[in-house]
Structure formats: C-alpha cells, structure tokens
C-alpha cells in the first residue's frame, strides 16, 4: 500500500494489475451472420452451428434491467419490430452487444451465455 500526503492509503498500480478480472471463455464464434430474415447464425470454434431468432435474443437480454423484470416475474415485452437489431458490436474478445430497434442496448451477450441460449436438438438434449 502507498500512503498519500492526505494520509489515505491505496493500492499502487502494480497491485491493481495483479487483481484484474480475467474471464475464461469456453466458446468462441468463428462466424456471425444473418442468413435468413429475423435470425442470427453463429458458427462456433468447435464446429457447432447455432441459430437464434432475433425476438428470442431480445427477450433473453442479460442486462440488469431485463434480469430484474424476470426476477419479479414481469414479462419482458418484445414487439415484432423491437426484436430486430439495428446494430451489432463486438465487446472485447468475449461478447457481443446489440442495439435493438426498440432502443434497448444495455445487454452484453457473452459468448458462453449466447452458446447456452442455443435451442437446437443437440444442445437441448445435452441440457444446455
């Protein structure tokens, strides 16, 4: 710890670097594209292919606001128009963030979270 002139103690820069959060990601996409209207296709590094209807992704938003609504058992309302993304941006090397047509943009979909959302027969039978 370092003492400042005001008598307060703090951790130095080196210590902060030592405690940085490192997220291990188990799945990485090799390709993300829209092959059909209303659906996102993700090809994963293990060869798996996931298809996500846009309204399902919007409904599954992992942001704090949407999680709170689900915790309170309030339905996250998604209109057909609102469930369409207007922008898709990578977040670091671990996630993607959508801006939805209804203006919602606070959900960050980590790759592992997105993979867990896959509802193909293989993933459902494996319990994902």
Q: Token match 């309030």: residue? A: 74
Q: Which of 13-17, 56-60, 79-83 is the most confident on average?
A: 56-60
Predicted TM-score (pTM) of this structure:
0.77
Per-residue pLDDT averaged across 76-95, rounded? 87
Tokens of 114: 């997105």
Specify the range with the lowest mean pLDDT, choosing from 28-32, 55-59, 79-83, 123-127: 79-83
Per-residue pLDDT averaged across 22-27, rounded? 70
Architecture of domain 53-125: 2-Layer Sandwich (3.30)
**pLDDT-derived band of residue 23, with 50, 70 and 90 as boundaries?**
low
> Cα dist. 30→77, 78, 118 in Å?
31, 29, 16
Domain boundaries, the chain: 53-125
């Amino acid at each position: 710890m370092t003492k400042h002139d005001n008598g307060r103690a703090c951790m130095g820069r080196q210590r902060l670097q030592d405690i940085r959060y490192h997220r291990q990601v188990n799945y990485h996409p090799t390709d993300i594209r829209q092959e059909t209207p209303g659906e996102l296709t993700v090809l994963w590094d293990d060869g798996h292919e996931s298809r996500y209807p846009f309204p399902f992704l919007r409904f599954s938003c992992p942001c704090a606001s949407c999680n709170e609504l689900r915790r309170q058992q309030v339905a996250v309302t998604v209109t057909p128009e609102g469930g369409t993304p207007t922008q898709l941006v990578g977040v670091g090397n671990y996630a993607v963030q959508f801006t939805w047509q209804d203006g919602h943009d606070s959900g960050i979909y980590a790759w592992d979270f997105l993979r867990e959302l896959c509802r193909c027969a293989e993933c459902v039978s494996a319990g994902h």
